Amino acid sequence: MPKGKLLVLSGPSGAGKSTVVARLMTMRDDVCFSVSATTRPPRPGEVDGVNYFFVTRERFDEMVRDNALLEHAEYVGNCYGTPRDYVAQKLDTGMNVILDIEVQGAKQVMEKAPDAIPVFLMPPSLLELERRLRARGTESEAVILGRLQRAREEYHADFYDYIVINDNVETAARELDAIITAAHCAYDDRKNILKEVE
174 binds a copy of itself (CB under 8 A): yes
User: Helix axis angle, 169-184 relative to 17-27, nearest 10°?
Assistant: 60
144 binds a copy of itself (CB under 8 A): no
d(CA 15, CA 129): 14
Of the pair 73, 144, the CB lying nearest a copy of itself is at 144
Are residues 29 and 120 in contact, defined by beta-carbon separation less than 8 angstroms? no
Of the pair 22, 182, the CB lying nearest a copy of itself is at 182
Determine the distance from the C-alpha atom of residue 62 to the mean position of all C-alpha atoms in its chain, rounded to a whole number: 24
Q: Which of 127, 143, 145, 170 binds a copy of itself (CB under 8 A)?
A: 127
> Nearest distance from residue 19's CB to a copy of itself, in Å?
18
Contact partners, residue 63, CB within 8 Å, separation at least 6: 37, 55, 69, 72, 81, 83
25 binds a copy of itself (CB under 8 A): no
73 binds a copy of itself (CB under 8 A): no
186 binds a copy of itself (CB under 8 A): yes
> Nearest distance from residue 99's CB to a copy of itself, in Å?
18
d(CA 64, CA 147): 36
> Nearest distance from residue 45's CB to a copy of itself, in Å?
36
Stretch that binds a copy of itself, among 12-20, 52-60, 108-116, 118-126 (CB under 8 A): 118-126
Q: Which of 48, 92, 130, 170 binds a copy of itself (CB under 8 A)?
A: 130
| HSE, side-chain direction, 13 A CA sphere, residue 91 | 18
First to last CA, the chain: 22
d(CA 59, CA 57): 5
Q: Which residues sit at the interface with a copy of itself, rule CB under 8 A?
A: 119-120, 122, 126-127, 129-130, 148, 151-152, 155-158, 160-165, 174-175, 177-183, 185-187, 190-191, 193-194, 196-198
